[in-house]
Amino acid sequence: MYCILSLTISPLLTLGTMNPSVKRVEYAVRGPIVQRAVQLEQELKQGIQKPFTEVIKANIGDCHAMGQQPITFFRQVLALCCYPDLLEDNRFPEDTKTRARRILQACGGGSLGSYSASQGIEIVRQDVARYIEKRDGGIPCNPDNIYLTTGASDGITTMLKLLVSGEGSSRTGVMISIPQYPLYSAALAELSAVQISYYLDEENCWSLAVGELQHALEAARQYCRPRVLCIINPGNPTGQVQSRQCIEDVIKFAAEQNLFLMADEVYQDNVYADGCRFHSFKKVLFEMGSKYSDQVELVSFHSTSKCYMGECGFRAGYMEVVNMDPEVKVQLTKLVSVRLCPPVPGQVLLDLVVNPPLPEEPSYRTFFEERSATLAMLAEKARMTQQILNEVPGITCNPVQGAMYTFPRIQLPPKAIAQEKGQAPDMFYCMKLLEETGICLVPGSGFGQRDGTYHFRMTILPPTDKLKIVLAKIKEFHQSFTEQYS
């Protein structure tokens, strides 16, 4: 007789055995409030009655999901590249066909389905370099310093992997702005790096003061080794555009403190306010002279997901490294080779963004009109958002100088602040707003804010008529919420 033993095998991977760094990762723009918004959408489809007829997701900068139309020239060339038989179709302008043939010749086997070089297709990197040179008034750009990426997020996390090292009090500290885009805090948590928070000045339109950087740096040196300074310009979630003087001050600070600069510039075309202008960190760095341009280590990022393109789903972007140690650059190239290459259709789209139609080409007029109309509409919605929110008692909104968001401050009654134990008051506010109006915003606590202040982030991307409805509902809700909890 055989005795059959019944074995109970416990799972190998549990919350207790998994990577503890992953458990520390939080990403507010797709957090619990967004998950509830998805549930509400399903409930509406099932016929469950709600106080609203649709869920409006104003939580994330997903341009096309909010109704922004793609640029015709981009989609035509992409279609030709994806299905080359269309090159015989006379409905496509000749310049789109010329562009598609040039790109396909640079692809293995003449197909977007082939891998590219890990750093990106060579002609695309060359076009990116020319774009940067033109943008920065002729300052040279070496294509070998360009790395194509799977969106700017991929480049940012890749660079942080290179920069983070050490243990205990020698662990790398990374300075990030508060409020910040949660990608940064999430990446730092995953890498077990030390987050060094520096606060933007809300009273002065979210400006950046070097005195605040100095204060944060000195405090952090007690428990880590600060090595990196991250700047988002134009700002997310705050929508500010930093002045040239501010950028100069930051570069001087980085040089004095021996910090590696990371410049997140994905909203560089999204500048709306009078008197504001985008200045690239690289341009300012080189115009400050060799004392800085030969010394400061800089990486800057751009993306096809924002600006007038809004092509989030193609996951395309680039980063340019300046003054990187050649031996480290070899390691960077090795690191990006592990993921083989960025998506090739995204690389094609990036090439079209940095190398758009010329005035003498047949696609230029439509391209120029579509681009101008998209940016003009965003500028008008930025102005309207600021104006309407500032009309609401208890809401204060700084000018939306750039980017695609506003980060207004909300006054919450003490009773509301004490309402939910263990839940941030602005999360309670935003969740209640979602349940009563169907509007999905992200609480300021997901981005960081000064103690005792409360905010929410909303995108200005909804179509103008829908944005007016969103703002009107927020106004009505805030007034009723204040009355209810006063």
How far is 484 from 486, CA to CA, in rounded Å?
6
Does position 7 have pLDDT exceeding 80, yes or no?
A: no
Share of the chain above pLDDT 90, in %: 62
Q: What is the pLDDT of residues 109-142, one digit of tens each?
A: 989 898 888 889 999 999 999 999 999 999 999 9
Mean of the per-residue pLDDT values of the chain: 90
How much is the pLDDT for 197? 94
329 half-sphere exposure, CB direction, 13 A CA radius: 16
How far is 370 from 15, CA to CA, in rounded Å?
49
How much is the pLDDT for 43? 86
How much is the pLDDT for 454? 92
How much is the pLDDT for 53? 86
Token pair 């006379």 in the structure block, residue = 90
Does position 10 have pLDDT exceeding 80, yes or no?
A: no
How much is the pLDDT for 67? 86
For 300-329, the three-class secondary structure string (H helix, E strand, C coil) is EEEECCCCCCCCHHHCCEEEEEECCCHHHH
Helices (H), 50-168: 72-82, 94-105, 122-135, 151-163
How far is 70 from 62, CA to CA, in rounded Å?
12
Q: What is the end-to-end Cα distance of the chain in Å, rounded?
A: 77
User: 26: helix, coil or strand?
Assistant: coil
With contact defined as beta carbons under 8 Å apart, do 430 and 20 qualify? Answer: no
Q: What is the pLDDT of residues 28-77, one digit of tens each?
A: 556 788 888 888 888 888 888 888 888 888 888 888 888 889 999 999 99
How far is 99 from 122, CA to CA, in rounded Å?
15
- Domains recognised in the chain with CATH numbers: 20-67+367-485 (3.90.1150.10), 115-354 (3.40.640.10)
Q: What is the pLDDT of residues 188-207, one digit of tens each?
A: 988 889 999 999 999 999 99
With contact defined as beta carbons under 8 Å apart, do 242 and 265 qualify? Answer: no
Does position 5 have pLDDT exceeding 70, yes or no?
A: no
Highest mean pLDDT among 21-25, 185-189, 256-260, 325-329: 256-260
Mean pLDDT over 480-484 rounds to 87
Q: What is the pLDDT of residues 144-162, one digit of tens each?
A: 999 999 888 899 999 999 9
How far is 461 from 469, CA to CA, in rounded Å?
13
Q: What is the pLDDT of residues 353-409, one digit of tens each?
A: 999 999 999 999 999 999 999 999 999 999 999 999 999 999 999 999 999 899 999
How much is the pLDDT for 423? 77
Beta bridge partners of 230: 262
Going by C-alpha positions, the residue among 303, 300, 299, 260 that lies closest to residue 403 is 303
Query: What does pTM read for this prediction?
Result: 0.89
